[in-house]
Chain A
Amino acid sequence: DIQMTQSPSSLSASVGDRVTITCQASEDISSYLNWYQKKPGKAPKLLIYGASNLETGVPSRFSGSGSGTDFTFTITSLQPEDIATYYCQQYDNLYTFGQGTKLEIK
């Protein structure tokens, strides 16, 4: 099974900050990685697919990069509505989510 490890597990940042989350796969998954946003009581929302492709309608302050085993998710200018938990997900061999990164406003 492919394991996905996100860091950090939680993060506190100020409005306007640049925020970066990393995701490491236990083996090479090429670019078979998605990123989701999850708010309490809401359904998850797809933000990035194929490691670096922005889903339609998602603000351009969100971006993703990486391939192989190491991936990065970035919010270039944090907004109050970005407070959520973010998950990476591999789809190279079935599907596995990372443990999540909880983002809070400082």
Chain B
Amino acid sequence: QIQLVESGGGVVQPGRSLRLSCAASGITFSSHGMHWVRQAPGKGLEWVSVMWYDGNTKYYADSVKGRFTISRDNSKNTLYLQMNSLRPEDTAVYYCASSGGNAFDIWGQGTMVTVSS
């Protein structure tokens, strides 16, 4: 069964850090580009970051550049998002998604991150 499962969300104070994980099953993980996408409460979808299948190429949205780091462990079929210097505006449901080509065709159910004092 093809599945992406996110974990690691929670409530964190501004300025603190959090690491999200996304465990993949049923796909050839090492062949897929992997993304993080978020949705703040009442807002639309926002692309956050991508790491290509090889683990060497990565890109970030301007809103998180310099604070978030994407990584992957192909031996564990797992994608990560290290989030540092968190801000209230980072509060959102964070989804991981795999891309066959450039379409995000498989999505996880999301993990909620709340940044609040």
Contacts and interface: CB of A to CB of B under 8 A. Distances in A.
B103 A34 contact: yes
A42 B97 CA distance: 13
Interface residues of B, number: 22
B73 interface: no
Which DSSP category, helix, strand, loop or mixed, fits chain A's interface?
loop
B102 A36 contact: no
Interface string B39-58: 10000111100100000000
Contacts of B9: none
Nearest to B107: A43
Contacts of B95: 43-44
A45 B59 CA distance: 23
Which DSSP category, helix, strand, loop or mixed, fits chain B's interface?
strand
A105 interface: no
Interface in A37-70: 38, 42-46, 49-50, 55
A95 B109 CA distance: 20
Contact of A49 (B39, B47, B103): B103
23 contacts: A32-B102, A34-B103, A34-B104, A36-B45, A36-B104, A43-B95, A44-B104, A49-B101, A49-B102, A49-B103, A55-B103, A55-B105, A85-B44, A87-B45, A89-B104, A91-B103, A94-B47, A94-B59, A94-B61, A95-B50, A97-B44, A100-B44, A100-B45
Interface of A: 1, 32, 34, 36, 38, 42-46, 49-50, 55, 85, 87, 89, 91, 94-100
